[in-house]
Structure 1
């Protein structure tokens, strides 16, 4: 479909054929070792040596089990257990060593590598021990948005972190049904981290902090741009979401891009996926152009070659059909040798790292080890999906095709080859690779169950019963073979799933409570009502019927009912009063004497429909109605209700002061401190009231109220900053109000004082401070956490 220069196509094909020849040569050497079973005596000796060093059969070992082993899936408990038993150092050492070998292509026998690993282990241990020193409830975790932002601040890359968090949010929202959004996010995060790791290791110690920040900023963005190819090329083409014709059209587009170095126009695209493909095309085009713009001329050619080899080898694999019984061993293994090695080579090309023959060589031989381990773990999911991998193909055709290589035997052959031929029998490398292999089998056994695991071993390991006995013996005995990256992977997946579940519950709660509040807000008319009062009530109901978010009464309901156990029916008057007060403040805010707004909550403002005088009277009416509702809290003792009304009156007074500050500031350049104070009075105080009022009814302790006030302060300012950003960058149709009014009215805003970038940094700083304050609240604060996420991520 997309036209290409024949010479360019020929060059790309030549490049792939050369890579294929190299892979074929590697496969042939592995094939000989499999057939001769030369790996068996070598690895048997290695495993025996590993067992002697790592599995202790002594009374000391028995009595050292003073504390039962924690579940490796329980992040904080497991770290504490490792520290308690003195195993944390070794655990981190093998984990970081493995990452240096797998992701960074390092030789573990190198003195420089050993020094670097030790430095990272010491630093990571210090962080982990301190972060898990005590149960801190809702602690700010390293992998949370607040935790990641704090790390970014230390490195001076807040802008890149804000950018990438927004990108991850957008990507997640565009993952179509039929693909795993959590998996897509995890892959992206992993690849970004991998690219940043490569950049950090390339920098060295002599780099200035300014240059380090610049390189890290670029690496984060490059990591995202490269990582985007996994959900939006690899996973999308695997997911069978596109029709056969669409898959071909899309694959041709990617191929043309890699061969020509330019992204073609999308052209015509029909069907249900049109909007999805338009978004993906736009995002991938921007990512591709960013990567290309940061390539050095001397690395550009190898970058495109590696990308083409990676993509084409995936395509060769992707079109395989499990019903085809005639694939050769070369058909099965050569593409995975190519794609598994080129994917890591691309990372170094992405950051324009200089050519390193040692890295290239180690990475080329190493890739298939990881691929075979992953395919083993996923074999039953792959079989269910009809995917052709060495394991699924062997499972289906092993009894009909005696020529097929057993992939499990090839896996151990690759391990033996890596240890002794690639890494020159290095002791540390042997320990790490064997530990990883044993860990993979233990995790598979745990996940599948002993019965299923034994069935798998009967199929794949029956050809070498003596060697299998050695393996199964070590799998049964070994208890200290866990790896930190697996712990983090499980942690990230769990967190992402929990986040999504909590977010769904958060949105459901908002929708449910919002409907309840909307149904209760209408102010009825009495039979003997006067004409003037009827007009005021109509005006009040007009304002209340607008598409309001009802955040404040929703916060009160959640804290009151879920937090303090108050009866939902008992606090209905309080919910109404909060929305009446808030709506009154909006009516006043929109008046010609103040902001002179024409649209509010998606409809014409009250004074444009009725009149300024009616709007003023309606605002006053709603304020008094709010007090009347609070006085109707008849299921609480009178002293408590009186305290609440006194607090509410003081809040209303202060909110008026905030609006007066706002009016007085027009045409003036405020300081940041003045703007923070004004934002708190205008927005933060209303948030505070929403949290403190149910706390007053529940007789909460003063220390808790203090924490809630602090949370409200920072959440309110973050909310106001987001409002300022939306007034400049938002969509009027989504916002339901006129944009650009701050500039028109010459208002001081966070953007006018700090600029767009500075305002975003300030918003995230207040987000972090609010999130950290939640640790001081002795209740379930999940809703407030997601409220904060909503505040900074909302588009209206």
Structure 2
């Protein structure tokens, strides 16, 4: 057989035809093995040998073994600890890592180099899992939270790439339309990025210098995203019902033209409900396409586009099939599946311009169908519901009328036999891993579908080989130690993404409802026969309070006080008013000509522009006095507690004044990072601290918890200010509600002027991580704070 690279180096149309011929020969070979039953005979012997390790003999002594009960795999940390306690962790990691090397990296498990790499990976994973299991029970794993990912980025020197990809992933998530599975799309995109990173790591020499390793990983992250973006915005979009039939045809032609010519066509005429979505996708895919093209070496670029064309065409041929049509041939059903399943992983390697690897292409070509048939079996029920054509759904619909149809379940076992004996040359490790995976897939399907549905399914697909099927079902019922780490990660990631989406929705709902509550409580009423000057002060104060403020500080106080500490909502209303009055007063003073000289704030004219500096100054003082009065009216709490709170508030007000003085004194000066952190904390972090600490004081929590809250506030406040500095350079005036570039005009030192945009972004994310780490010290799961910190670093205003 010709290597796939030789095939795709032809003209794309010719290359696809040659790839089809190769796939047809593979299908014919498998079909012949099925008809001769040679694959079943070989597999019976394989399974009998394999089961020696997986069927435990019953022992009376086991009844008296105290042991730990096997926990549900949803309990990630307890499951890892159980594997270690029972001595199963190393075998679990061995089969899991070996499978990834075979499936994703196309490696032969009998290669000494591969064996050494697998052993090193297992040892690293073992240390990491046990460390995280001991320290992180009850928390999401590091790889599933932004702080954990960023700490890895710092270790590898790829902070800029990770900051970039986090922003990109958030943007993609925000643009996944209803009718597509957002969690599924994000998971696949992340999986592709990780896959490309793994390929890049495998290609690096052990002695590579740190700078080169960082450069390679940076490039791999960006390439992984650029390639992975095609999954949600090409495959999933075209598979969905979002676009109309004419739109799908027009969109497919755009993709096909880009792959054939190497140039992204202009979008052209597009109208209708999907216009904005298509504009966004076209822009993102164009940027991704150009990045991949720029990173390709001239000698590999043709191969990359050729493989991509094979993948897209195979997907496109598969996509247009309809389950109502009963005359598809076996070749119609299987050849596109063979091509798309192998091409997807070949692209993941070619996208990094990796050199030829002896045997990789052939192993990947043969392995793809195994993985695709396993995935299609697992998704069979959903595919039937969606009327999607796969070998399984088509066989279910037509097998009684079409005896010529290849049974995909029998073909799956023929693929397994071919892999074990022809591709991996009867290697014991390959046999172990492949059969582990096959039995695990059946176990998972049975658990998900239920015994009755599973038996019904087996009655249709496995009826042709009763003896062989009987042996398989014994393995499904009795075989142990066939689960895999990547499946654990997949389940955890899906659950994490769903949970995160629910929490984020709840966060913004809480933000909106509490903001509305606070807005209703802020404005001052004017009693009858009010002196004219006081009326002017109240009008000026109300003008400032009516602006489009985010109300982050009092919202945070309400959530901490009511949701976390169980305080009476009505009892803390004076505290909420107090915090917003103090904050608004500080903004009035900040905007004065003698200070920042701002002309707009919260989307409207600043107070001194509307009236005068004198009126603005007096209004600020008026708001501060009203804030003190509100704190003194916290009459549902102990008097000594309220008195302590007022003293604390006075100290924080002093600190904020000092912070503003430090900021003014710094004008025209080049500050050190330490000096800037101090200015920033006293200007911004102090207010965050008060919002966290004051409700904690009213709830009389421990000093240790208050200490952790102060550390959170310190780092979150600095992160907030850095984001403000970044928005002052790169933000949108209409979104921000105030002019951009003020700091440069006023010659103010800030994080961007000292560190540059990239350096400021890194500093912000480092403080985000430190705030997240401090949050873990608090003996309660405060999801609102977690999402508030995400909001702080990802906001657009």
Question: What TM-score results when the alignment is normalised by the length of structure 1?
Answer: 0.98
After superposition, what is the alpha-carbon deviation per residue over 1:652-689, rounded to whole angstroms, capped at 9, x for unaligned? 11101101111111111111111000100011000000
| Equivalent in the alignment of 1:586 | 587
Contact map agreement 2:109 2:115 (CA 8 A) in 1? yes
Residue 15 of structure 1 corresponds to 15
Quote the residue 1:748 is aligned against: 749
Is the CA contact (8 Å cut-off) linking 1:9 and 1:259 kept in structure 2? Answer: no
1:47 equivalent in structure 2: 47
Aligned pair in 2 of structure 1 residues 723, 140: CA closer, same or farther (>3 Å)? farther
Instruction: Summarize the alignment of residues 159-238 of structure 1 with structure 2, pairs less than 5 Å apart.
Output: 159-238=160-239
The aligned counterpart of 1:321 is 322
Q: State how far apart, in whole Å, the 2-side matches of 1:20 and 1:139 are.
A: 44
Q: Provide the secondary structure at the position in 1 that maps to 2:442.
A: helix
How far 1:128 sits from its partner (Å)? 0.3
The residue aligned with 2:638 is 637
Task: Determine the structure 1 residue equivalent to 2:417.
Answer: 416
Q: Could you tell me how far 1:370 is from its partner in structure 2?
A: 0.4
| Structure 2 residue 71 is the aligned partner of structure 1 residue 79 | no
* Whole-angstrom CA distance in 1 between matches of 2:680 and 2:353: 45
Q: Gaps (5+ residues) in structure 1?
A: 1-7
Alpha-carbon separation, structure 2, partners of 1:674 and 1:206:
40
Cα offset, 1:356, TM superposition: 2.2
The secondary structure found in structure 2 opposite 1:106 is coil
Distance of 1:199 and 1:728 partners within structure 2:
34
Q: Give the Å deviation of 1:141.
A: 2.0
Q: CA deviation at 1:143?
A: 2.2
Q: Distance in 2 between matches of 1:697 and 1:361?
A: 68
Secondary structure of the residue aligned to 1:216 is helix
**1:679 lines up with 2:680 in the alignment:** yes
CA displacement 1:709-748 (0-9 Å, x = unmatched): 0000000000000000000000111101111100000000
How many pairs are equivalent?
789
Which residue of 1 is the match for residue 351 of structure 2? 350
Give me the whole-angstrom Cα distance separating, in 2, the residues matched to 1:204 and 1:336: 35
For 1:446-595, what aligned pairs fall within 5 Å after superposition? 446-595=447-596
Does residue 249 of structure 2 align to residue 251 of structure 1? no
Deviation of residue 172 (structure 1)? 0.6
* Offset of residue 768 of structure 1: 0.1
Match of 1:434 in 2: 435
Q: CA deviation at 1:464?
A: 1.1
- CA distance in 1: counterparts of 2:14 and 2:149, whole angstroms: 44
* Deviation at residue 71 of structure 1 after TM alignment: 1.1
What does the per-residue CA deviation read over 1:381-408, in whole Å, with 9 as the maximum and x for residues that have no partner? 1111111100000000011101111100
SS at match of 2:696: helix
* Structure 1 equivalent of residue 4 of structure 2: none
Aligned in 2, Cα 1:222/1:10: closer, same or farther, shift over 3 Å?
closer
SS at match of 1:375: helix
Relative to structure 1, the CA distance from residue 65 to residue 304 in structure 2 (aligned partners, 3 Å threshold; closer, same or farther) is farther
Alignment check: 8 A CA contact 2:199 2:349 kept:
yes
Describe the shift of the 1:458–1:339 C-alpha distance in structure 2 as closer, same or farther (beyond 3 A). same
Contact 1:711-1:771 within 8 A present in 2 as well = yes
Q: Is the 8 A contact 1:140 1:146 kept in 2?
A: no
In the other structure, the counterpart of 1:4 is: none
Deviation of 1:206 after TM superposition, in Å, equals: 1.9
Indicate yes or no: 2:60 matched with 1:57. Answer: no
Please give the residue correspondences for 1:23-422 in structure 2 after superposition, counting only pairs within 5 Å.
Answer: 23-59=23-59, 66-134=67-135, 136-138=137-139, 141-422=142-423
**Post-superposition offset of 1:552:** 0.5
Alpha-carbon offset, residue 93 of structure 1:
0.4
* Mapped contact 1:139–1:775 kept (Cα < 8 A): no
CA pair 112-253 structure 1, distance change in 2 beyond 3 A: same
Residues of 2 paired with 1:111 and 1:299: CA distance?
Answer: 28
- Comparing 607-616 with 194-203, greater Cα deviation is found at 607-616
Q: Is the CA contact 1:255–1:308 (under 8 Å) kept in the aligned structure 2?
A: yes
Secondary structure of the residue aligned to 2:405 is coil
The answer to whether structure 1 residue 692 and structure 2 residue 684 are counterparts is: no
SS of residue paired to 1:132: helix
Q: Is the 8 A contact 2:194 2:224 kept in 1?
A: yes
TM-score of the aligned structures, taking structure 2 as reference length: 0.98
Cα distance, 1:698–1:126 mapped onto 2, change above 3 Å: same
Per-residue CA shift, 1:144-188, capped at 9, x if unaligned? 110011111111001111011010001111111111111111111
Going from structure 1 to structure 2, the CA distance change for 1:280 and 1:580 (only over 3 Å counts) comes to same
| 1:9-55 residue CA offsets vs partner (Å, 9 max, x unmatched) | 99321111100000011110001011122221211111111111222
Other-structure match for 1:771: 772
Secondary structure, aligned partner of 2:92: helix
Provide the secondary structure at the position in 2 that maps to 1:167.
helix
Answer yes or no: is the 8 Å Cα contact 2:9–2:302 preserved in 1: no
Q: Is the 8 A contact 1:595 1:745 kept in 2?
A: yes
Deviations 1:540-572 (A, max 9, x none): 011101110101001110110111110000000
Distance 1:780 1:151 in 2: 24
Equivalent pair of 1:140/1:771 in contact (CA under 8 Å) = no
For structure 2, the residue ranges without an aligned partner over 5 or more in a row are 1-7
Structure 1 residues 743-752 or 462-471, which shifts more?
462-471
Distance 1:242 1:177 in 2: 12
Equivalent-residue separation in structure 2 for 1:449 and 1:708 (angstroms): 47
Going from structure 1 to structure 2, the CA distance change for 1:743 and 1:489 (only over 3 Å counts) comes to same
What is the CA distance between 1:536 and its match in structure 2? 0.3
CA distance in 2, matches of 1:259, 1:734: 40
Question: Do the aligned residues in 1 keep the contact of 2:9 with 2:306 (CA within 8 Å)?
Answer: no
Deviation, structure 1 residue 303: 0.9
Q: Distance in 2 between matches of 1:136 and 1:614?
A: 56
For residues 711-750 of structure 1, what are the structure 2 equivalents within 5 Å? 711-750=712-751
Q: Indicate if the aligned counterparts of 2:197 and 2:221 stay in contact, CA closer than 8 A.
A: yes
Match of residue 703 from structure 1:
704
Residues in 1 aligned to 2:73 and 2:649: alpha-carbon distance in whole angstroms: 50
Aligned counterparts of 1:794 and 1:356: Cα–Cα separation in 2: 45
